[in-house]
Amino acid sequence: MSAFLPFFDPDPETRSARRALRQSEYSFNHAYVSPLALVHDIAGRDRFSIEFTTLVLGKIMTNVANEADADSALRRRLRAMDVPLSHVALAGSTAVRAVSTAVGQLLGAQAAAGRLQSLDDFNSLFHVIGLPPIAQDFHRDETFAELRLSGANPVLIRRIDKLDDRFPVTDADFQITLPGDTLAAAGAEGRLYLVDYQKLDGMETGVAPGGWQKYLYAPLALFAVSKQTRKLTAIAIQCKQRPGVNNPIFTPDDGYNWKIAKTIVEIADGNYHESITHLGRTHLTLEPFIVSAHRQFGLNHPLLILLQPHFEGTLAINNLARLKLISPDGVVDRLLGGTISATLGLSAWGVQGHAFMDLLPMASFRDRGVDDLESLPHYAYRDDSLLHWDAIREWVATYVRCFYRSDEEVAADVELAGWLTEVSAETGGRIRGVTPARNLVELIDVMSLVIFTASAQHAAVNFPQFDIMSYAPAMPLAGYSPAPTKKQGATESDYMSHLPPRDQAVLQMNTGNMLGTAHYTRLGHYGPDYFGEPRIDEMAGRFAAKLDKVEEIIQERNQHRRPYQFMLPSGVPQSINI
Ligand SMILES: [Fe+2]
């Protein structure tokens, strides 16, 4: 199909008739996940492809195989009992005593069947799926700091000059980790960083199946870049927003209390990630752009032709999520700390609590004060995002300039203006901060941001769902004990009581394995002759070649840093389809 801007279309009547038909097929629903805008019905053309369905079914079969060979916690416990049993026998004790010990342990195991007793028990859940690498080192403080920069939710860390009254960390606290350094010096030198989960404060928490009360806090976590190592270092954590005697500031010398505090941060991070960063700022933000594009663009509009591959599967996966994941008693309701209505309230804020264009990568890094390579030399998500952004923007600019010769032609495109107007309209997409493009730069920016969000950004926040989040001890999606009120004295058993019980851990693992490993389509691979014009297909080929170069750069960077795999172009899909 030849691409035409509206004012050059040689057959405006056919264009108009097809557009009217599309408007009858795609309409907004504001009640499904109020106040957000979703498509009312899924058209046949938007259903999952056979290839995608086959891919996901394969993931589900792995989960089934893993579960069919399950009961692993109990089996491991029985295996472990062989040792004391043989020790008892070797020590010459009576057989009665040995059997009594074994039976006692087994009864204990049954009584506590809902709880996993050790990290080994969590590890053994993955016997077919295979343990994600995070299981090896999630407990290290270096990993805890690193996950703020290259973890599942690497979008929250912010540079600060000094702490406010909510988080009264002292120099003595600070110097436990960085002796000889001070808060004031770190603040003045751009080395002080905060992760603040204030948005979660006061959230109503839910109850997991089996009657397990869930806990979710709004912690504050302080980090500093060490003058010596130039690495981000964990300094202190406060589990709740308001300081007080029952809300201590934990530091790395606090034993299991520190481990618990780190876990409480990971729980908050997991909830922020799923509701705001992932569901809100990728899946649900793009849906209105897709619905409106179908309604407003002629089928042969060049922008729709460019966008279509970046929209594949999004309406279908969002519809499935609405019915199965974010429904009452669905997976999100079961796993996340908040009630489903509280979680969806966060998602709505994720979509509507900011202007869409604030998500421009450089604007976002600048706003958080993390754009400066001198102050924060190592930030994998930032560095790899910018590679993608540059490649995508260059491709979009080249493509757009093939069709629009001037700013005036951009401003005169009524279908383009209709798209962006409807995306932000109260009766339409309800996305804030989107206005009709007045010139080429504005058009290129908004198109690039839509494509970046659909591809690289979604990949960055979707694929950690297996590598990091499927392993519940690394990032539990809810806590199962209240936050400690004393600075020290917790035991290993206290720590374990914060982690999800078995059924929740299994659901988190299976969900992570299904959502976090299905890579369907590849960014920049539009298919031979997709654009039907050799000049443009050749430009698309150059975009794919540029992404191959990005792949090489990231591979090379990964030789010198904790490997950051989520934005390797070979694993970045064209669209949000999972
Ligand atoms: Fe996703």
Per-residue pLDDT of the chain (578 residues; tens, 9 = 90+): 689 999 999 999 999 999 999 999 999 999 999 999 999 999 989 988 888 988 888 888 888 788 776 555 545 554 555 444 434 333 434 444 444 454 445 433 333 458 999 999 999 999 889 999 999 999 999 999 999 999 999 999 999 999 999 999 999 999 999 999 999 999 999 999 999 999 999 999 999 999 999 999 999 999 999 999 999 999 999 999 999 999 999 999 999 999 999 999 999 999 999 999 999 999 999 999 999 999 999 999 999 999 999 999 999 999 999 998 999 989 999 999 999 999 999 999 999 999 999 999 999 999 999 999 999 999 999 999 999 999 999 999 999 999 999 999 999 999 999 999 999 999 999 999 999 999 999 999 999 999 999 999 999 999 999 999 999 999 999 999 999 999 999 999 999 999 999 999 999 999 999 999 999 999 999 999 999 999 999 999 999 999 999 999 999 999 999 999 999 999 999 999 99
342 alpha carbon to ligand 1 midpoint, in Å? Answer: 20
Amino acid at 438: R
314 alpha carbon to ligand 1 midpoint, in Å? Answer: 9
Classify 462 as helix, strand or coil.
Answer: helix
Cα diameter, the chain: 97
- Cβ atoms < 10 Å from Cβ of 439: 14
Quick check: 429 and 423 in contact, CB under 8 A? yes
382 alpha carbon to ligand 1 midpoint, in Å? Answer: 20
457 alpha carbon to ligand 1 midpoint, in Å? Answer: 10
12 alpha carbon to ligand 1 midpoint, in Å? Answer: 38
Instruction: Identify the pLDDT of residue 77.
Output: 52
459 alpha carbon to ligand 1 midpoint, in Å? Answer: 8
What would the CATH number be for the domain defined by 6-56+272-467+527-571?
1.20.245.10
The structure tokens 């930032």 sit at: 382
577 alpha carbon to ligand 1 midpoint, in Å? Answer: 7
133 alpha carbon to ligand 1 midpoint, in Å? Answer: 21
Mean pLDDT rounded to a whole number for the chain: 92
From first CA to last CA, the distance across the chain in angstroms is: 29
The model's pLDDT over 3-33, given as tens digits with 9 standing for 90+, comes to: 999 999 999 999 999 999 999 999 999 999 9
Classify 192 as helix, strand or coil.
Answer: strand
Classify 67 as helix, strand or coil.
Answer: helix
Classify 207 as helix, strand or coil.
Answer: strand
293 alpha carbon to ligand 1 midpoint, in Å? Answer: 21
Instruction: Identify the pLDDT of residue 87.
Output: 44
Quick check: 241 and 220 in contact, CB under 8 A? yes
458 alpha carbon to ligand 1 midpoint, in Å? Answer: 6
Residues 6+ away with beta carbon under 8 Å from 46: 39, 313, 315, 316
> 469: which DSSP letter?
T
What proportions of the chain, in percent to the nearest 5, are helix, strand and coil? 55, 5, 40
493 alpha carbon to ligand 1 midpoint, in Å? Answer: 34
571 alpha carbon to ligand 1 midpoint, in Å? Answer: 13
Residues with CB under 5 A from ligand 1 (ion): 462
Q: In 425-533, which residue ranges form alpha helices assigned H by DSSP?
A: 440-452, 458-462, 464-467, 492-496, 502-515
Locate the domains of the chain by residue range: 6-56+272-467+527-571
The Cα 314–Cα 46 span in angstroms is 8
576 alpha carbon to ligand 1 midpoint, in Å? Answer: 6
The upper half-sphere exposure of residue 275, i.e. CA atoms within 13 Å in the direction of its Cβ, equals: 32
186 alpha carbon to ligand 1 midpoint, in Å? Answer: 37
Q: Which residues pair with 224 in a beta bridge?
A: 192, 233
122 alpha carbon to ligand 1 midpoint, in Å? Answer: 25
253: tokens are 């010398």
265 alpha carbon to ligand 1 midpoint, in Å? Answer: 22
Please report the DSSP string for 239-305 in residue order.
SSSS-BTTBPEE-TTSTHHHHHHHHHHHHHHHHHIIIIIIIIIIIIHHHHHHHHHHHHS-TT-HHHH
462 alpha carbon to ligand 1 midpoint, in Å? Answer: 5
170 alpha carbon to ligand 1 midpoint, in Å? Answer: 40
Please report the DSSP string for 100-117 in residue order.
HHHHHHHHHHHHTTTS--
518 alpha carbon to ligand 1 midpoint, in Å? Answer: 10
The model's pLDDT over 468-508, given as tens digits with 9 standing for 90+, comes to: 999 999 999 999 999 999 999 999 999 999 999 999 999 99
Instruction: Identify the pLDDT of residue 53.
Output: 87
